[in-house]
Structure 1
């Protein structure tokens, strides 16, 4: 989904995720203030071959091409389809709920599931089909991974909405890996996994769907579920909103247990109106867990479903897994360490799991300072460069000081880079070699002036 608060945004202050994008929230601010993303030319200056081959198909590089070898190495891993992986467990739990909760007329599951759609999409699929304006900042090269000007790695599973509706589907779940350039810390990673849900109704189907007499608390404390007779007088849009909130309240109750306190926060996404985020009170802390909304009729109509209305939602698998299982570091999802993986070999997907941390290896911390170039500079370019060189041994990159020279007005940034391997102790020598390479590359690639 598009921007809303500091968690699910297409471009929002301090954190970049995608529509419904749900990586881990950094703060519980209720601010709707926007900030502008600054793009740079780092990606176009990065040396690339004339053609990139990905998943058996060649893509001609151009000035938009900015996918690094590190990112390319992640494509096709499909952690969400790896049996007994925590992301697979979350996917299966949600899928199991929808299979049992929504049954078609012949006793078969109403929702179909697509968890193997290729992550390479067109720019039209990723943005245009979702009514995202041409000048929207979410399209910036500094925030996405482009193969070229027309193709990219999907920034959200919403990129498949239009095609699946156009194929005639009324109820479906899409699960897949998505890609965003972002900061580096224990809750952000350039590849994460989302689940998208879409449900379309005729007006008659909608009323029958929500008028079955269910008594379920949907709204904030003090509100009540409308009686069946009241639904006859409700407008279709309100009935659709009720159906959406009913479905998602049941979903989180399935995941977290009954009695969970929830609240709905008004939000903005380009392709739904009204739009909401659901927050849950988990162990005394309010946490956002998903984004949702009533689908814009223009989008539904353009997909050939003119006689339908519908809703959509999106959630992040890593986010849910980190909350439900207590996983402290997003890099662990990519680990091959048996101490991590064996904890999720359980006999059934709904079994409760509490991750047991194992010994952390000591960190090695180095600082890097440089004067910013006079032209445009993007922190995402710096983070991407550090990821490309340091890989997953980089635990965190934090801006710890910003200085403006009183006379020249030049700006200097100082970043603290924390190196920590998940599976062994790093030596000072190997970290020094990596850090030195980062220092050289940041000057060559970003045009900064080092203060090393």
Structure 2
């Protein structure tokens, strides 16, 4: 599911109009049982405002984006959350990178004790609006995975299950009815680590894209387990743990090794990194 919000920058009252909407959004959220954790900073050097935009408008755009999506997520999940907990619904904003927005962010929800990514969003790149013959417009856009919503509503722990043909999964659900997923036995995992030095900013989304392309649906999770800067050389090192597991059959260690080697090779070909 995707959405966007734009306004006319040539309008002299654009900032006051955005501020009026911000006030209304803020009033709605103050009446909601929600806690927002924001780990982002405005005009972060690694996630900056666009040079072509007025900083004042860019700042208001980011605030409008966050408040709107905070309210959207609350309306989507509050009812089911409060059926199981008296605690406030918790959401978290983190910095991100997407080619069509800048600055970019991801929004996560705390569900069953884990942070679950719900959507990616950001201020639309001005060049994109110019190509769409809207040079005087600015605004923000988001993309929300419907599978992520279903994971919360049905209690499904692994997004890959949506593509499983296993009858143990398919027979648990019927149209028009929300049913809590009942876990069944899984095949054993194969866990592999990849460590490398980086000399330039590295975006995790690029790593995830390579892993998805090569592994298809054979990777259950990816986690950064070490983030280290050498005290003498000032070189930066990252280590990611990749959990290989098939939903439908046993994955051998040899198969996981072959897939892991292809991922590592593609990383070295695509980015300025040095494998440790």
Is 1:364 paired with 2:193? no
Contact 2:200 2:272 in 1 (8 A): no
Contact 2:35 2:88 in 1 (8 A): no
Q: Give the whole-Å Cα distance in 1 for the aligned partners of 2:216 and 2:167.
A: 20
What is the deviation of 1:364? 0.5
What is the deviation of 1:320? 3.4
How many positions carry a matched residue from both structures?
Answer: 179
Q: Give the whole-Å Cα distance in 1 for the aligned partners of 2:156 and 2:66.
A: 32
Instruction: Determine helix, strand or coil for the equivalent of 1:413.
Output: strand
TM alignment of 1:371-386, pairs within 5 A = 371-372=197-198, 374-386=199-211
Specify the alignment match of 2:217 in structure 1: 392
What is the deviation of 1:134? 6.1
Query: Greater strand share, 1 or 2?
Result: 2
Specify the alignment match of 1:331 in structure 2: 160
Specify the alignment match of 1:353 in structure 2: 179
Specify the alignment match of 1:283 in structure 2: 84
Specify the alignment match of 1:245 in structure 2: none
Q: Give the whole-Å Cα distance in 2 for the aligned partners of 1:360 and 1:271.
A: 38
Q: Give the whole-Å Cα distance in 2 for the aligned partners of 1:134 and 1:337.
A: 51
Query: Greater helix share, 1 or 2?
Result: 2
Specify the alignment match of 1:445 in structure 2: 270
Return closer, same or farther for 1:329/1:429 CA change in 2, 3 Å cut-off. Answer: same
Gaps of at least 5 residues in structure 2 are 5-33, 55-61, 92-108, 110-117, 120-141
From the CA coordinates, give the structure whose radius of gyration is larger: 1
Q: After superposition, give the CA deviation of every residue in 1:422-451 in whole Å (9 maximum; x if it has no partner).
A: 111100101000111112221111120011
Contact 1:38 1:378 in 2 (8 A): no
Contact 2:193 2:242 in 1 (8 A): yes
Gaps of at least 5 residues in structure 1 are 3-27, 40-131, 137-266, 292-312
What is the deviation of 1:282? 3.7
Q: Give the whole-Å Cα distance in 1 for the aligned partners of 2:37 and 2:197.
A: 31
TM-score (norm 1): 0.35
Return closer, same or farther for 1:330/1:135 CA change in 2, 3 Å cut-off. Answer: farther
